[in-house]
Structure 1
Amino acid sequence: MMPGCFFCGDESGDLHEASTFMIDRRVRECALEIQDTVLLAELSAGDLISQEAKYHTTCLINLYNRTRKHVLKTEEER
């Protein structure tokens, strides 16, 4: 696993270690919802905990926000 952020790869800043399956599950749900093939490919290597994934809080929040916007847009189109 790369030493930097799981999402952006940057090693600088305050990195948090993925320590719950709840984070892993939500990241997977988000990646599937927005069809982020790069993120899905990285997740195929195993769960975030076993990969010892680290992340910036802002990168995780950005993923959640991208997903929320995608869901809202999809609902509007129905």
Structure 2
Amino acid sequence: MLLCDDESGDLHESLTFMIDRRLRECALELQDTVILAKLSAGDLISKEAKYHITCLINLYNRARKHVPKTEEERQESVVQ
């Protein structure tokens, strides 16, 4: 299983549940249905998922920009 659709370049194996957990959090935050569908089949380690480090970092950065920065903004997003 690949997290992105590009099979070229250096691929890394998912070896920790921390990557799995963080990837799920980011995909949920962004409502990325493509990644959520891939994650619905099980954890990354058992699926022997591979990823490009640049694709993973790009996802983390997109999620970080999407998350409200202050506690007040977080509470406003929950209320809406």
What is the number of equivalent residue pairs in this alignment? 72
Gaps of 5+ in 2: none
1:18-70: per-residue Cα shift (whole Å, max 9, x none)?
A: 00000000000001111111111110000001110000000000000010111
- Name the structure 1 match of 2:40: 44
RMSD: 1.7
Identity of aligned residues (%): 79
- Name the structure 1 match of 2:24: 28
Higher Cα Rg, which structure:
2
Q: TM-score, normalised by structure 2?
A: 0.80
Code of the aligned partner of 1:33: E
Q: Is the 2:12–2:50 contact (alpha carbons within 8 Å) kept by the matching residues of 1?
A: yes
Q: 1:1-78 residue pairs with structure 2 within 5 A?
A: 1=1, 6-72=2-68, 75=73, 78=76
Q: TM-score, normalised by structure 1?
A: 0.82
